[in-house]
Amino acid sequence: MSTNLSDLKGRDVLDLATAKAVGTVASVVIDASTGRISALTVSGSGDADVLRWDKIKAIGPDAVTIEDASALTAAQGASEEAGSRGDTDPIGRRVLTVDGDELPKVDDLAIDTDAGSVVGLQVGDQVLGGMRLRAIGDYAVIVTA
Amino acid sequence: MTASSEQGRIVRATDLIGRRVVTLGGNSSVEVKDVVFDTSAGSVTGFTLRAPGLLGGPQSVVLPIAGVESIGDDAVMITDEQVFAQPEALVGSGDDIMGDRIITDDGTALGTVTDVAVLVTKGDGDIIGFEIEPTDAAGANTDRVLVPSPDALAMSDEAIVVPAAARDHITTDVDALRSAAASLRGSSS
């Protein structure tokens, strides 16, 4: 299944053991070198704000479900810490090709929720395939030319 | 796009001033302050840097041309910040070429330099021509023309010497400069 990051943001993260929402999806942690989504970040769940991809039970239209609260962990390592700060969220970011040409800013990100991969980046009127993603830096999202 | 990056791109030196320097990881902390030429070699040796913005101070490190991946319309791309070097790494006088006279080796002044056209490929910046405000002798009917540059140049504080044949290759089209420089270099060697 494919979903847009903008639609995924704000979705409840539901703890199936308690049937309570532990927070809402804040953003994603992306490993730009592989195009994989390694985790979701969660707001409202305190310090344990990282939901690693392999801890997700399901991504449904109304909630992201987890077995229990232990699925949430504190950010570990540079990419999760950057994700926890919101630095790996590409929406609204400047886009540059590896040749140094600027494209429109990132409007949205299409995600394959089964594979946990970035399918495409919506930049202005065009969609760039997820394979073109090279890096997400503090200044720009870098894509192949 | 791929073809053009392999063949390089022609950029105007003045257009590069203020352009952001960005790593392939998407990070950027500096922009180009000035372009440093080695005119005797007919090439760009690198760039001095400054912090971005109007109040950006000069930086203690420079960017040698060897560290440049590519130069696009909006950014100078580098692999990472490891390519920055101490200022001594930039050979070349850093002389201001703008305003210098271009004179042929048979003694005809073609005009004064208003910009420098650089062919940028990965790790290299070749001066392939000069934009000049032409004299009547240049035989141009516009107020700016492009003169192709030979491989190596003799220059002093006030003049740059080009082969007489350069006059026959004067153009107004930046893209034509590439073949003009190639034929000038072929005929002068």
Q: What is the mean pLDDT of chain A?
A: 93
Burial class from Cβ neighbours inside 10 Å (0-12, 13-18, 19+) for residue B158 reads exposed
Query: Residue B44: its pLDDT value, please?
Result: 93
Q: What is the pLDDT of residues B10-21, one digit of tens each?
A: 999 999 999 999
Sequence letter at residue A44: G
Inform me whether the C-beta atom of residue B73 falls under 8 Å from chain A C-beta atoms: yes
Substitution target from A132, A136, A141, A142 for chain B, most B beta carbons within 10 A = A142
Q: pLDDT by residue (tens digit) across B128-147?
A: 999 999 998 888 888 999 99
The conformation of residue B171, written as its DSSP 8-state character, comes to: B
CA-nearest of B49, B102, B56 to B76 is B49
pLDDT in tens, A2-13: 899 999 999 999
Cα distance between residue B174 and residue B168, in whole Å: 16
Task: Count CB atoms within 10 A of the CB of residue A122.
Answer: 19
* Residue B51 in contact with partner chain A when CB distance is under 8 A: no
- B7 shares contact with chain A (CB less than 8 Å): no
Whether the CB-CB separation of B172 and B142 falls below 8 Å is answered with yes
Which one of B73, B76, B80, B121 makes the best mutation probe of the A interface by having the most chain A beta carbons within 10 Å? Answer: B73
Residue of B nearest to A90 (CA): B26
**Strand partners for B120:** B9, B125
Closest residue by Cα to residue A65 from A98, A30, A26, A19: A19
The one-character DSSP state at B56 is P
CB proximity A114 to B under 8 Å: no
Take residue A51 and report the two structure tokens written for it. Answer: 């939901």
- Which stretches in chain B have pLDDT values below 70? 1-6, 92-95, 187-189
Q: Is the ipTM of this complex over 0.95?
A: no
CB nearest B24 (choices: A101, A135, A138): A135
Taking a C-beta distance cutoff of 8 angstroms, is the pair B115, B127 a contact?
no
